[in-house]
Structure 1
């Protein structure tokens, strides 16, 4: 499919979307005080681009980064446009992280340039809650265009920077993103008996505009798209009253 045809198809799909009927907010909080208190805007700005990368090319880290984005999109207000280069999204996994299949509009791009163009088109439409894309390469001008397209709206832009075959740090290239995140799988919650406990992620805020970097160990997104402090941390007396494990 050519870029022109892909853009035309996307525009027809977006025109079919009529009002969301939901309350839109300028900021999307995580609902976890330990994270929101460290963010300059006490949450993720909805009119902005946010970059995410897996800590390694491994499947565990890649899945954690993908599901982290799904959890964010699940808590956004409306339909979600997810633009991919390869057909490897696992719907049941996204659903377990709170993102129902009926909310997702899929678009497949032939290369990174077409993917970025589709994301920009989705952001300018203003009828979507989130626009997600997965690229191996995006320059500063590319990310600046996405940031400008998001500004003034309520559509959060999430860009997954995949690892190149030759290795390297996907977040090493300068970007206009307001926040940049690195996600890794972490050892699951220990159980008193044999078995697999609740999955955990190491979440690193590598960079944020107007704030400092930070990192956390969190329990993975639940069926509402929300992260949680590990039980042993959330149950500490010092944590009581300062932040709930889950947001209401």
Structure 2
């Protein structure tokens, strides 16, 4: 095998430790081919002749700008609209009625802040926006602030562009597709501005505190599976700090953090509340 076809175990370990130190993601040796392929694509744009030269480059001062592209290549994951339908059923059928009831009773102001953490290319926060847009009183009377963050600028670029293929839209019914999307070409759909405007995006590393006002609800799904327990604990600490008292944390089914959320009140298998 050509030496540039795949990282050696020793080279993989160097990149593995570097990725972990920067963003808390522990990549298993079983992913060596995937990681090799993604790094190889960055060699020519970086003027690096091999993996060793690229490793030295991204660790150098001169390679600081390449780090964005490196993490884009390593961390990009696939997602879809309305993934795990039960989470959105809770949002639409339980959480929004609760908010409206609390407002009518004078227990809260009509401001709602939701953070979609590690949002990839935007399908999750846009799904949240669709749910909120379908509740007329929320649209008319509330200041809704939905924030999507990710460590990958490439993913955030796709989120801001808001153009999607049918593959990510399989959980959308025909009514939502016709209402919220315009077909641009075969298998290309653009999200309508009314929904796109409801979400703002920014770059953020989950291992760092998020410098923003606290949120009423935070979604963290299908990402912590890639973190080890030490990193998960740090991410959870940062997320809980960003929740208001009484705020909700929505977690994915495979995060592996259920025994690490003792500081929150468990409401169901995916929902935890800060007291």
What TM-score bracket applies, with the shorter chain setting the length? 0.3 to 0.5
Higher relative contact order (CA 8 A, sep 6+): 1
- TM-score, scaled to structure 2: 0.30
